[in-house]
Structure 1
Amino acid sequence: MIDYSLYLVTGRELLPEGKAYCDFLREALEGGVTIVQVREKKADTAEFLHIANESKNLCTNYGVPLIINDRVDIALAVDADGVHLGQTDMPVRVARSLLPPGKIIGVSCNSVDHVKKAVEDGADYVGIGAVWATNTKQLTSLVLGVRAVGPLLSALDGTSVKAVAIGGIKSSNVLRTLHGSVSTTGHRLDGVAVVSEIVSSREPCKSARTLKEVYRSWSNSTKQLGEISPPYTTEIIKDRVADLLHVVKETKPLIHQIINIVVANQSANATLALGASPIMASALEEMYDLSRVLSALLINLGTVTDNESMLTAGRFANDAKKPVVFDPVGVGATEFRRKVAAELLNTWQASVIKGNAGELAALADSEEVQAKGVDSIGVGFANPAKFVRDLARKERCVVALTGAIDWVSDGTTIVKLTNGHKLLGDITGSGCLVGTCIATFCAGAWELAKNEDGAAKLVRGDMLIGALGGILALTIAGERAAVRSNVQGSGTFLPALIDELYNLTPEKIKQDSQVEIVTV
C-alpha cells in the first residue's frame, strides 16, 4: 500500500545555492519522505531523463515510490511507479493505456467536478489545491483555502481514491491543513504534498522529519480521540459547567480579547466579574508574548481594524494549543467582512464559533436567514439543531447559535438552552458579552486540562462545555438581574447584569440551567 503522508514535489530551481540535487533528495528521504514526484517544467527531455534516473535510483534505495510529473514517456523510460497529471495534460485513460499494469496515476484537482472526473477516469489519488498561496508554481485557479477542501474530499466517499493537499504547505500551517481538511462525512486527507519547505531548506532531512512528525502526531491523536463526543446527560452538562466556573474563580485565567471598541469596557468588566483577568490588546507586536501567557483568546470581528493582529494572534494561540473563540460580528453585513472572516478561519483553527442566525448563515453560505448590520432578520432556521451540527462538522469546531433560544453543537452532540431575558436584547453588545463569557469558560477548560493532564490537551468535548458554560452564565445572570427591584429598564439592567455575573456560583448554575440534549 502506498504511503502518501509526506509527498515531496521536487523543484531544482528552489535549491539553496551550492546544494546538489542528489544530496538534497537523499537527505529528504532520510528525513521520512514517503513518496516523491519529480517536477521539471523547464528541462529538455535529455536533462529530465537524467534527473529522473538519479531520482529513481535514490528512491529505490529507500523503498519510496517515484512519480513523474506530466511526462508519461519519462515515467516509462525510468520505470517510475507512476505519473501525476494536470487538468490540461494527457487524459487519465490514455495514460493508463500506455503505462504497465499497477502504475500509479494522480490528478491535480481544484473543484468537486475535477475530483469526480478523476474518480470516473480511474485515478489512484488526487492532489487537491492550491490550499495556500504559493510562489513555487504559477496558479491557473484560485487558492482554495483550507475550509474549501472538505467538499472535494466528500466526492471521494465510497471510493478507494486517496487524496493529498498541495500548495503552500509548510510546518507553520500543516497542522491547520490536516485538521481543517475533513469532509462533513469524515473523509480525511491521506497526506500533504510539500515543495519549498523541504526543497529550499538547507537541512532537508530536518525539515522532512518535522513535517512527518506533525503528520504522525495528528494521525495518532485523531485515532485516539475520534470525532465522537463523550456521552452527555443534562446533569453531566450542569455539573461540568459548574466545575468550570469554580476553576475560573480559582485560577483567574488571562483572557486576551481583540474586541470592538463599542463593548470593550463592559466585556472587560464581565471577565473580571466571572473571576478571570482581561487584557484588551491589539498591537501586532504583542501577539506572540500574549499567546504564551493567556488561557483563551477571543477574536471579535467587531470594527474590523486589527486584521493582521487577529491573524497573528490566532496562529500563535493555535501553536500554543490555547482555545480560540471567534465571534464573527456583522459578518453578513458587507463583502469586506466576509473576506476577512474567511481569511481568519482559513489561517487558524477556531475552538468555538459563536454568532447569531444572520452571522452564522453568512459563514455557512446559507440564504435561509439574512443579516441587517449586526442583527438577523427573518424567522430563523427551519431546523436550527441540524444547522449547528452541520456547521460544526464543516468548521471542525464547536458552534454556538445564539438568540431567544441558544443551540450549541460539537458536530455530534446538540444542546438546546432556553435561559435568558428580553432585556439582554435591549443593551448594546449583549452578543459580544456572550463571546467574552464563552472565552472565559473555555479558559477554565484549558486550565482544567492543563492541571489534570500535565499538558493542555483539549478535545471538542471540553470546548462544548466551555461554550455551554459561557452562554448559561450570561443568560442566568440576565434572568436574575431582570427581577431585581432596582432594575427599571436597559440603563439599570447592565450594571445589575455585571453584579449577577459577579455573584454567580456553581450552585446557581446547577439550579437555574435549562438544558436539553436534542437529536436530528
Structure 2
Amino acid sequence: MIDYSLYLVTGRELLPQGQDYFDSLEQSLQGGVTVVQIREKNTDTREFLDVALRSKVICDRYNVPLIVNDRVDIALAVQAAGVHVGQSDMPVSIARKLLPRGTVIGVSCNNIQELDKAVSDGVDYVGIGAVWSTTTKTLNKPVVGVRGVGELLRKLDGTSVKAVGIGGIKLKNLLRTLHGTVSTTNRALDGVAVVSEIVASTRPREAAAKLCEVLSAFRSGDSIFKAMRTRSEYTAGSVIDGVVQIMSCVRDHNPLVHQITNNVSIAQSANATIALGASPIMATTVQEMEDISRINGALLVNIGTLVPTAYEGMVVAGSCANAQKKPVVFDPVGVGASHFRQSSVNTLLDSWQASVIKGNAGELAALAGSNEVQSKGVDTIGSGFKDPVSFVRNLARKERCVIVMSGEIDYISDGANVAVLSNGHQLLGQITGSGCIAGSCIASHCAGAMILAQGEDKEGKLVIGDIFLGAIGGILALTISAELAALREDVKGPGTFFPALIDELFNAARRKCVHTVRGLTQKCADDKPA
C-alpha cells in the first residue's frame, strides 16, 4: 500500500546552482517524502534510464516507491512501483497489459469527464489539478482551484481510487489546499504532489520536513481550523452562555481586528468595533499585511469597495492570516452584481480559507451558484429560500466554514448545526453600512472565541471558544443592540438611531449579558431541534 501523503515530482531543471540531483533526492527522502515520481521531459532514453536506475537505488534505501512519468518502458526497465500517465499519453488499458501485476498506475485529471474515465479504466490513483497556477509546467487546461477539487473528489466516493492534488502546491498554501479541497461528503486528498518547493530548495530535507509538519497538523486537527470543528452538543442555553463568555473576552482582552472594508462604512465599522471592546485597524497596503497578521486577533475582508490596491491587500492579508492561524471573516458584498466581483470572490476564496462567510440571501445564492434567490446590487429580491436551513448547512459544508445568512431572520451554520435568530429592528436597514457593521461584530467575536479556545477560565477549567459561537455572538450583539436602541426615547429615526446603536453596543459589552434572544433554535444534522 503506497502512502501518497508527500508525493515528490522531480525536475532537475529546477535545482539550485551547484545542487546535485541525487543528493537533493536523498535529502528529500530523509525529510519525509513518501513517494517519488521521476519526470524527465527533455531527456533522451539512455540518460533517462541512467537517472531512473540511480533514483530507484536511493528510493529503495528508504523503502519509498518510485513512479515513472509517461515512460512505461523505463518503468519496466527499472522495476518501478508504478507509472503516471497524462491524458495524451499511453492509454491505461494498454499500460496495464504491458506492466507486471501489482504495478500502480496513476493518471492526471482536470475535470469530471476525465475523472470518470480514469475510474472506469481502473487506475490506482488520480492526480487532480492544477490546484494552483504553476510555473513548473505549461498548463493547457484551466486551473481547477482549491474549491473545485472538492467537487471532483465526490466522484471518487465508493471507489478505492486514491487522489493526489497537484499543481503549484507550496508550504504557504498547503494548509489551505488540504482544508479547502475536502468534499461535502468529507472525502479528502490522500496526498499532495510537490515540485519546486522541494527540488528548488537549497535545503530539501528541511523543506520536506516542514511540509510533513503541516500534513500531520492538519490530519490531527491541530491547525487554524481546530476551532471550526462541528459539534452536536449545542443547546440554546449553551449557545447563549458561550456568547456571553465570548462577549466578556472581547471586552477584557481588547483584540486587534484588521479590517479591509467598504470605504462607505469605514467609520461606522470602526466605531462599532471599539464599542464592543475590540480595537480596529483599517489597513489595505500589501506591504503591511504580514506584520499586521502577527498581532491581530481576526481579519475582516469586505469587498464593498473593490479597488485594485485593496484587492491586492485582500489576497495577501487572507494568506497571512491563515499562516498565523487567525480567523478570517469574509463579506462578499454584491457578489452577484458583476462578473468582475464573481471572479474576484472566486480568486479570493481559492487563495485562502475563510473562517466565516457572511452575506444576505442574494449574495450567498450568487456565491453558491443558485438561481432560487436573485439580487439587485447589494440587495436581495423576492421572498428568499424555501429551505434556508438546508441551504446554509450545505453551503457551509461546501465552503468548509461557518456561513452567516443575514436578513429579517438570521441563519448561521457550521455545516452540521444551524442557529436560527429572529432579533433585530427595521431601522438597521435604514442606515448606511449595517451589513458591514455586522461583519465587524462577527470578526470581533471570532477574535474573542479564538482567545478562549487557547485559554482557561478563573477556575482553571478549559474554555472552548469556537467560530460558530463567535459568528452567533457577532450577530446577536448587533441585532439585540438595535432593538434596545430603537426603544430609546431619543431615537426619532435613522439619524438618531446610529449613535444610539453604538451606545447600546458599548453598553451590551459591559453588561456581559444577553437581553432577549428571540427564536433561537439549533438544528443538528438530523434536523431535530436541540
For the superposition of Structure 1 and Structure 2, which TM-score range results when normalised by the shorter chain?
A: over 0.9
Matched residue of 1:43: which SS? coil
Distance 1:437 1:94 in 2: 60
State the match for 1:162 in structure 2.
Answer: 162
Match of 1:484 among 469, 485, 488: 488
Output the TM-score relative to the length of structure 2.
0.94
- Mapping 1:505-520, distance limit 5 Å: 505=509, 508-509=513-514, 511-519=516-524, 520=527
Amino acid corresponding to residue 373 of structure 1 in structure 2? G
Give the aligned partner of residue 259 of structure 1. 261
Aligned to 2:354: 350
Structure 1 residue aligned with 2:244: 242
Alpha-carbon separation, structure 1, partners of 2:392 and 2:189: 24
The TM-score normalised by the length of structure 1 is 0.96
Matches within 5 A, 1:89-168: 89-168=89-168
Flag as ranges the 4+ runs of structure 1 deviating above 4 A: 222-227, 458-461, 505-508
Greater displacement, 218-227 / 411-420: 218-227
TM-aligned CA distance change 1:268 to 1:227, over 3 Å: closer
Secondary structure of 2:106 counterpart: strand
In the superposition, relative to structure 1, how do residues 227 and 241 fare at CA in structure 2: closer, same or farther (>3 Å)?
Answer: closer
1:507, CA displacement in angstroms? 5.6
Question: Structure 2 regions of 5+ residues with no counterpart?
Answer: none
Give secondary structure in 2 for the equivalent of 1:36.
strand
Structure 1: distance between partners of 2:363 and 2:343? 13
Task: Give the match for residue 345 of structure 2.
Answer: 341
Q: What is the aligned partner in structure 2 of residue 396 from structure 1?
A: 400
Change in Cα spacing, 1:115 to 1:227, as seen in structure 2 (3 Å) is farther
User: Which among 418, 423, 431 is matched to residue 414 of structure 1?
Assistant: 418
Residue 64 of structure 1 corresponds to 64
Q: Matches of 2:298 and 2:206 in 1, distance apart?
A: 32
The question of 1:382 aligning with 2:423 is answered no
CA contact (8 A) 1:408 1:468 kept: yes
Aligned counterpart, 2:319 = 315
Classify the secondary structure of the residue corresponding to 2:456.
Answer: helix
Query: Percent same amino acid at aligned positions?
Result: 60
Other structure's SS at 1:325 match: strand
Indicate the SS of the match to 2:8: strand
Describe the shift of the 1:228–1:438 C-alpha distance in structure 2 as closer, same or farther (beyond 3 A): closer
Q: What is the SS of the residue equivalent to 2:514? A: helix
SS of the equivalent of 1:42 reads: coil
CA deviations 1:410-456 (Å, max 9, x no partner) are 00111101111111111111111110110111111122123339xxx
Where does residue 327 of structure 1 map in the other structure?
331
Closer, same or farther in 2 for the Cα pair 1:507/1:58, shift >3 Å? Answer: closer
Q: CA deviation at 1:228?
A: 3.7
Aligned equivalents of 2:38 and 2:17: distance in 1? 20
Partner SS, residue 438 of structure 2: helix
- Count of paired positions: 516
- In the alignment, residue 97 of structure 2 is paired with which amino acid? S
Using the alignment, how far apart are the partners of 1:497 and 1:136 within structure 2? 54
- Residue 227 of structure 1 deviates from its aligned partner by 4.8
Q: Deviations over 1:180-235 (max 9, x none)?
A: 11000000011100011111111111111111111111112279969541410000
In structure 1, the gaps of 5 or more residues are none
Q: Residues 438 and 478 of structure 2 are in contact (CA less than 8 Å); yes or no, is this contact kept in structure 1?
A: yes
Q: Is the CA contact 1:229–1:460 (under 8 Å) kept in the aligned structure 2? A: no
Residue 164 of structure 2 aligns to a residue whose secondary structure is: strand
Partner of 2:475: 471
Partner of 1:216: 216
Deviations 1:361-385 (A, max 9, x none): 1111111112211111122112111
**Counterpart amino acid of residue 233 in structure 2:** P
Match of 2:437 among 426, 433, 450: 433
User: Partner of 1:172: helix, strand, or coil?
Assistant: helix
| Superposed CA RMSD | 1.9
Of 489, 505, 514, 1:501 maps to 505
**Structure 1 counterpart SS, 2:475:** helix
